[in-house]
Structure formats: structure tokens, C-alpha cells
């Protein structure tokens, strides 16, 4: 399936784009999506994705629909959701 991911903050700068469409297996988990993002954007590895690609760094989070934060990476991704790769820190 194809998933659209919106990039905010550093992710947007590193990707050079505000969003991307990532193709993953139909049974892909969040973990697979993170790996796919790291493949598509190697510069994410380090500041956004952990070097072993097991998770995002503490600085970043994946938000679904503007309402929920992805916490369990082994859960399959549902198609058709708005996905946001954004800073976890909210301090102003």
C-alpha cells in the first residue's frame, strides 16, 4: 500500500519536501514504515530514526490523524490515515 507521510520540522528540511508517499507491504507495521522512511531518506538516520532503525529517536514521533501517537510499533498500519512525522517536544 501507499502511505502519505507529512514532514514537519527537521524532517521537512532533511527530506527537502513537506510530504512523501511511501510504499510498504499491505501487512506492514509501523516498524516497517519507519524502515521504509529511513531507506527513502538516509539523512533521517541519526537525528530522526535510530541508527539501528528500530525506532524513531526520542526527539521525533509519528502522529496519526492529529489525534493519536504511535506507541506500539508492531501494530499494522491502516491505510487512509493522515500520518505526521513531527517533533515530540512541545515546549514553547
- Which residues of this chain interact with other proteins, rule CB under 8 A? 6, 8-10, 12-13, 47, 57-59, 61, 63, 65-69, 71, 84, 86-92
Residues in the chain, total: 92
Closest separation in Å from C-beta 63 to other proteins = 6
Is the distance from CB of 71 to CB of 62 less than 8 angstroms?
no
Whose Cβ is closer to other proteins: residue 26's or residue 92's? 92
9 sits in the region (left: phi over 0; alpha: psi -120 to 50; else beta) called: left
Closest separation in Å from C-beta 53 to other proteins = 15
Amino acid at each position: 500500500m501507499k502511505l502519505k507521510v507529512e514532514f514537519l520540522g527537521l524532517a521537512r528540511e532533511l527530506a527537502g519536501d513537506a510530504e512523501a508517499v511511501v510504499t510498504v507491504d499491505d501487512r506492514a507495521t509501523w516498524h516497517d514504515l519507519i524502515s521504509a522512511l529511513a531507506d527513502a531518506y538516509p539523512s533521517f538516520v541519526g537525528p530522526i530514526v535510530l541508527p539501528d532503525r528500530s525506532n524513531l529517536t526520542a526527539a521525533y514521533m509519528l502522529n496519526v490523524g492529529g489525534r493519536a501517537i504511535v506507541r506500539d510499533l508492531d501494530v499494522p498500519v491502516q491505510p487512509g490515515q493522515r500520518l505526521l512525522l513531527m517533533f515530540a517536544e512541545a515546549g514553547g
